[in-house]
Amino acid sequence: MNEDLKVNLSGLPRDYLDAAAAENISAAVSSRVPVVEPEPELVVNPWDIVLCTSGTLISCENAIVVLIIFHNPSLRAPMFLLIGSLALADLLAGIGLIINFVFAYLLQSEATKLVTIGLIVASFSASVCSLLAITVDRYLSLYYALTYHSERTVTFTYIMLIMLWGTSICLGLLPVMGWNCLRDESTCSVVRPLTKNNAAILSVSFLFMFALMLQLYIQICKIVMRHAHQIALQHHFLATSHYVTTRKGVSTLAIILGTFAACWMPFTLYSLIADYTYPSIYTYATLLPATYNSIINPVIYAFRNQEIQKALCLICCGCIPSSLAQRARSPSDV
């Protein structure tokens, strides 16, 4: 009877109070039981998968070229040394893309980030510098056609190789030696942990090398057209065929330079105007075409070369097709 006369001071129904009390008791009990939180799932960025796939294809293609040149003693001319340098640089770039994917999701640390970005910067820098060296070699093979096969040309080629790889390694060591944005994120570029200044130096260097390559290819076109015109004057009945040959050569040079610009120019210009605050999708969208250049390089510079085609045929089938054996090679055929 006394229990029924007790006043409900809260003004709430008794059933509500009983339910609230039950909830408080269950909450107190559950707070004493350790809660096992589920481990977060590893979310993989699709762009990283595409870059890793691109790196795998780059590595496979260029590994074939490196092995062919390394195991064939006849491929030791300056032209093949530069093609081998290009293939080696692209091979390292492909390996760098694969390692970057593995480290990003399996072994995350500042040291691995710096080593990976250093390898990628050094290898892509060596790739672009090797393209410039090949352009210089093509120009010299035409401008100094009579003395191109001298010992001085070989010495000059080794000097170019030492300079381009030394410069590329130094550029790759900059992030590792402390020129990075790990301590100050406000200085980051579109590619972390490269600083904005570092990315600007790389971009300006690329634009300078592209302008130099463009100038050299213009001179190459002038030399080829002049030689074709002189031959056509001496042999009037071959004028049409030489015109076709000259047009084909100029078209080939335009395709080479146009492919190089289409692959690298978007990322170069984007690196100059953007920073870490921009959406990462823009970085991926401009960086991916740059990796395609390393996929295309073996096709343009290696697999089109007759001597490399012969070596590849010997490795694959043990014979050289008659169509390859009877074709003549020009000094600038790369």
What is the block-wise mean pLDDT of the chain (334 residues), using blocks of 10 residues?
43 48 49 48 82 95 93 87 95 95 86 92 95 91 79 88 96 91 88 90 94 91 76 59 58 83 94 90 93 93 85 75 57 42
Residue 5's pLDDT is 42
| Conformation bin of residue 40: beta by default, left when phi > 0, alpha when psi is -120 to 50 | beta
Which long-range contacts link 140-149 to residues 24+ away (Cβ below 8 Å)?
A: 141/79, 141/331, 141/332, 142/220, 142/223, 142/224, 142/227, 142/331, 142/332, 143/219, 143/223, 145/331, 148/331, 149/77
Q: Cα–Cα distance between 280 and 185 in angstroms, integer?
A: 15
| pLDDT given at position 257 | 87
**CA neighbor of 227 nearest in space, from 205, 206, 249:** 249
Candidates 83, 132, 126, 122; CA nearest to 99 is 122
Buried b (16+ CB within 10 A) or exposed e, 138-155: bbbbbeeeeebeeeebee
State the amino acid at position 273 in one-letter form.
I
Q: Which amino acid is at 130?
A: S
pLDDT of amino acid 104? 87
Q: Which residue has the tokens 């040079």?
A: 253
Can you say whether the dihedral through the CA atoms of 163, 75, 149, 135 is positive or negative? negative
The pLDDT value recorded for residue 241 is 53
Q: Residue 306's pLDDT is what?
A: 84
Provide the angle, in degrees to the nearest 10, between the axes of the packed helices 110-143 and 151-176: 160
pLDDT, position 229: 67
Distance CA 152, CA 172 (A): 30
Retrieve residue 52's tokens.
């890793």
- Cα separation, 174 vs 211, in Å, equals 25
Q: What is the dihedral of CA 61, 66, 71, 76, to 10 degrees?
A: 130
**Distant-in-sequence, close-in-space partners of 260: CB < 8 Å, separation ≥ 6:** 131, 210, 213, 293
Q: What is the pLDDT of residue 17?
A: 42
* Tokens at 231, concatenated: 């031959």
Tokens of 295: 């996929």
